[in-house]
Amino acid sequence: MIYNYYDDYITDYITDEREQRAIAHVDTLGVSDTQTYERLVVLKTYIITAKEAMVNDADIFKLKADLYQKEFDALLLTYREKEAAAQGKSLFTLGLQRG
């Protein structure tokens, strides 16, 4: 594996193939910041691994998949907001209508 993983509960289930799928997914997101990219890969690897190791919707892997998905989404949103701000843009725009 390329990256370091710190969730001892999931780490034993991570495979090179799962990590490669996570890398391929994050590559499609256009993230240029190395630190953010690496964290997104780790989170996506956790998500893939947890979902594939999950036996049912009530086990610990389901909880971990949901937790890491929320963290992944929040990190990606924060990254995109910073990138937009650096370019003088906003991710959120409202159309104004005159009545």
Q: Is 3 part of any domain?
A: no
3-state SS, the chain, equals CCCCCCCHHHHCCCCHHHHHHHHHHHHCCCCCCHHHHHHHHHHHHHHHHHHHHCCCCCCHHHHHHHHHHHHHHHHHHHHHHHHHHHCCCCCCCCCCCCC
> Tell me: the pLDDT tens digits for 5-16?
999 999 999 999
Q: What is the pLDDT of residue 91?
A: 59
- Does residue 89 form part of some domain? no
Count of structural domains, the chain: 1
Give the mean pLDDT of 14-34: 97
Q: What is the pLDDT of residue 17?
A: 98
In this prediction, residue 90 carries a pLDDT of: 64
Give 61-94 pLDDT, tens digit per residue. Answer: 999 999 999 999 999 999 998 888 887 776 555 5
Q: What's the pLDDT at 87?
A: 78
User: 69: domain range?
Assistant: 8-82
